[in-house]
Amino acid sequence: MRTRMALIVAIALSVAVLAAQAPQFGDAVKSFIKLNAPVIALTHVRVIDGTGAPARDDQTIVIRKGLIDRLGPSASTPPPDDATTIDLTGKSVIPGLVMVHEHLYYPTGPGFYGNLGESFVRLYLAGGVTTMRTGGNTSGVMDVKLKEMIDAGQQPGPAIDATAPYLNGPNTFLQMRALKDAADARRQVEYWADMGATSFKAYMNITRAELGAAIEAAHARGLKVTGHLCSVTYAEAAQLGIDNLEHGFMASTDFVADKQPDVCPGQPVGQRAVAALDENGAAFTALVKTLMDHHVALTSTLTVFETFTPGRPMPPGLDVLVPELRQQFEQNYARTQQNQQSIYKTLFPKGMALERAFARAGGTLLAGTDPTGGGGVIPGFSNQRQLELLVEEGFTPLEAIQIGSSNAARYLGRDARIGTIAAGKQADLVVVNGDPSVTIGDVRKVETVLKQGIGFDPQKLIESVRGKVGLW
């Protein structure tokens, strides 16, 4: 009798646990799901596991309740009897991408950002991104709200690490307030942490005192701070305990000759100093050491800089934009091509060389896309482009995939669950047609994106917003 009661209780408990794990998907999400079964076996697939290890051919992955239950050679890993089996001969799986300089807004007008969260989360997921950190927001609550709705199954999209509104000093952006002092910075961090924000972004005109106070307040709550800096140098930010710096070395003002404390010398001045750097020189090597000593990760956002650089190809995915935004970018692109004096002709390749040197010295490099600038950085499409650009920068395809998945998972402290493909991990997987361990461009050929074992249809996600991105 007692045993029977215990059994009933145990069954009731396990049903409750199951119900808690699998969100009840709303209609807005259901229409994008192409694969949803309690047990799934992906057979005869090439596995690129995100650790940097070589690809393994002809593997079987068994997914149970959203987790990778088993993984091994197809010959010795038979699919369970109750599995929905999918033959993936000729195809590859990579880990769901974990990218950390994403936004839910886009430049829609001069100095103005349209908040486009609803379409962007679909595009990110379609592009293979299953976890993303937003790198600053211009909406207030939207990043946090979308994170909660996605977690609850009411919206399709990646798991979101949601940043608060920017921490910045005096500035001309309509959607950014100006901090008054260190106490104000602390209050802003505490307020937004209470509102559910899970990370913070410091911006160009913050002072050292404000940044220090913000870092202290965030760390007290176990939250991290990243920065796109200018008034504060990378070395100063490292000393203050910042966790991450954005845009590789492109935003460093450490090498500006007469840099005044707490003053941004202006972007062109900083960029000229960076463009003139020697990646093997003592000054740069010393900064790399400082960053590594303080465990500061660096985020590569080559995609946004590519749009500023003459002679580069048109970026992918523009046809999802409303015609007016597409035209606006195409005009910007034409102007960029004509500007043969552009600093980016030397800065873009130099930025690549500096990032590569940092990573080769043992620094932690993360990846993101930054859909800002003059437009043209399209969520999802640009995450795939970022991987291609990391290969152009000098990484192997396997390293590029690692930078785009497990490095960021480790940075976010979630590597026990996400970022690599292994038994026990969340089944966040991107099925691609081809072999991106050889040809990185094959990451563009996404067939299915599995998030916690639920397979989403990238084409349906993209079609649902095609020609409308800019409206919502």
Q: Which residues bind Zn ion (CB under 5 A)?
A: 135, 370
Tokens 């009661």 sit at which residue? 5
Smallest separation, CB 428 to Zn ion (Å):
24
Q: By C-beta, is 136 or 157 nearer to Zn ion?
A: 136
Q: State in angstroms the smallest separation of the CB of 372 from Zn ion.
A: 5
- Residue 217, Cα to own-chain centre: how many angstroms? 24
Q: Is the dihedral of CA 411, 211, 176, 164 positive or negative?
A: positive
Whose CA is closest to 457, among 466, 448, 465?
448
Closest to Zn ion by CB, 93 or 251? 251
* Closest approach of Zn ion to the CB of residue 307, in Å: 13
Nearer to Zn ion, 109 or 424 (CB): 109
Sequence-separated contacts (24+) of 232-238 with Cβ below 8 Å: 232/202, 232/206, 232/207, 232/208, 232/262, 233/259, 234/287, 234/290, 234/291, 234/296, 235/287, 235/290, 236/208, 237/202, 237/211, 237/296, 238/290, 238/291, 238/293, 238/294, 238/296
- Given the complex with Zn ion, which of 92 and 301 has the nearer CB atom? 301
Smallest gap from Cβ 241 to Zn ion, in A, equals 21
> In the structure encoding, which two tokens stand for residue 112, read together?
């103005």
User: Rounded to the nearest whole angstrom, what is the least distance from the CB of residue 368 to Zn ion in the complex?
Assistant: 8
Residue in 19, 27, 29 with CA at minimum distance from that of residue 449: 29
CB of 135 to Zn ion, least distance (A): 5
Closer of 74 and 137 to Zn ion (Cβ): 137
β 39-47/56-64 pair status: antiparallel
C-beta of 245: minimal distance to Zn ion in Å? Answer: 12
Q: Where are the alpha helices (DSSP H) in 317-405?
A: 323-338, 344-360, 381-393, 397-403
Position of minimal CB gap to Zn ion: 370
Nearest C-alpha neighbor of 413 from the set 125, 145, 98: 98
CB of 423 to Zn ion, least distance (A): 36
Q: Which is nearer to Zn ion, 32 or 166 (CB)?
A: 166
Give the nearest distance from C-beta 103 to Zn ion in angstroms.
Answer: 6
Instruction: Specify the residue, 135 or 248, whose C-beta has the smaller distance to Zn ion.
Output: 135
- Rounded Cα distance between 457 and 359, Å, is 34
- Strand, coil or helix: what is 343? coil
Q: Which is nearer to Zn ion, 301 or 420 (CB)?
A: 301
Whole-angstrom distance, CA of residue 109 vs CA of residue 370: 17
> 355 or 370, CB closer to Zn ion?
370
